[in-house]
Amino acid sequence: MAANLDDDGEQTVSINEYLESIEEEELEADLVLGGDEGDECTYSKGYMRRQAIFSCLTCTPEGNAGICTACCLSCHDGHEVLELWTKRNFRCDCGNSKFGEFSCKLSPNKDVENIENSYNHNFKGLYCTCNRPYPDPDLQEQEEMIQCCMCEDWFHEEHISLSSPNEIPRDEEGEPLYEDFICKACSAVCSFLTLYPKTIWAAGRQSVADSKNKSVEEDIPPKDGAGKLDNDPCSDAVQKDHLVADTNGKSVTDEKKFVVGESSQNNQSSSLSGSIGSSHASCVLGVDWMAASLDSESRPFFLSKNWRDALCKCDKCLDMYKEKHISYLLDKEDSIAEYEKNAKQKRDEKLQQREGAELNFFNNLGHVEKMEILNGIADFKDEFRSFLGSVDPSKAITTADVNQIFENLKNKRRRV
């Protein structure tokens, strides 16, 4: 929000700028929180597909626990809390064994530990391969970061293994042209994606299947996909070379810490049934996996809108997704785009309910109360219209201006 200075050096904003900033802040909050009002702990809902998660460094400075929105507001008010945006398949930890004697005020009866939760260095306030905090106190101007849709870590643009940030698919206004980003380390786990046609890649990236196997047609319908290559680079051996952060916040080479645990994967299978639909008898790509050449070098992926719809759902591919613990890629509601879409829908419903409640309140008032409210609104409109007609429209409205408007209204009521 742009700010101006009046003659006294006081920072002021125009009324339109102020209203727009309030609406933008409310929308941003609703998108992050997914429409969650923070009224109750989400623990009873189990391992949720996706929800806003926070880390309380006051209670768990080692960064090995996450809490929901309601617990952040009710149980950890005044604590040093980190906003982690959203996490998949996560259950609120507030008050469990990781918090010692601290008990959750909203849902005190919890398991000792949520064994299916996964944690990374984000829970300690560290991000990217550089293992730096955000905001970074050593930087005067904060750098934009991108989240990997698989490991859910955040990366600086200059640290995602591109020769230049200009390679990131964006339009002329700088808005992203991709729906999901997969970091270099995670791309090794799903290198099978390079066998798909260019339609799944943002900015028309050429796939291996297009360039090296002419038998793959470019007009594969949206429900197409890939199969499993038994000796491809995303075998278990490659998973062990994935870069993760240990509990001390240091970058180490360790076995890949996927967001979904084994037991969580089993629980997820039933919820995915609606998204996956019926599986195919054969791999729809129609390529010889053993003969196909995959990228030998891992690199970040930028994927286009609805790319998940193209993933193959044959029995062989479904087994491969499960083995690699990435079945969540088939779940449309797992994506951030779908999460924000649902959040906007909840926001619209909330605003409609609020308007309806205000209208019901007004209708239940007596005639005298209704007339007082309507006259008050009319007086305010007249006073505000008079004010706007007497000032330079190019100037911002100051605190003194607002106070004068209400002082004039008070004087008018006294005369009445």
Query: How many other C-beta atoms can be found within 10 angstroms of the C-beta atom of residue 38?
Result: 16
- Asked if 193 and 200 touch (Cβ cutoff 8 Å), the reply is yes
pTM of the model: 0.66
The first and second tokens of residue 274, run together, are 């609606």
Q: In whole angstroms, what is the distance from residue 351 CA to residue 355 CA? A: 6
Q: Name residue 147's beta-bridge partners.
A: 154
The first and second tokens of residue 378, run together, are 């009319």
Indicate the range of 85-89, 110-114, 140-144 predicted with least confidence: 140-144
Q: In whole angstroms, what is the distance from residue 179 CA to residue 177 CA? A: 7
Burial class (CB in 10 A: 0-12, 13-18, 19+), 5: exposed
Extended beta strands in 137-215, E state: 145-147, 154-156, 180-182
The first and second tokens of residue 116, run together, are 């299916």
220-229 mean pLDDT: 39
61-67 mean pLDDT: 97
In this prediction, residue 290 carries a pLDDT of 44
- Asked if 3 and 12 touch (Cβ cutoff 8 Å), the reply is yes
Q: Helices in 233-366 by DSSP H: which ranges?
A: 236-239, 262-276, 315-323, 336-363
- Per-residue model confidence as pLDDT tens digits over 320-344: 899 999 999 999 889 888 888 888 8
Query: How many other C-beta atoms can be found within 10 angstroms of the C-beta atom of residue 19?
Result: 11
Question: Closest by alpha carbon to 410, among 387, 379, 386, 369?
Answer: 379
Residue 414 pLDDT > 70 = yes
Burial class (CB in 10 A: 0-12, 13-18, 19+), 401: middle
Compute CA distances 241 → 119, 233, 255, 409, whole Å. Answer: 18, 11, 7, 70
Residue 250 pLDDT > 60 = no
In this prediction, residue 3 carries a pLDDT of 53
Residue 153 pLDDT > 90 = yes
Residue 281 pLDDT level (bands cut at 50, 70, 90)? low
- Asked if 207 and 198 touch (Cβ cutoff 8 Å), the reply is yes
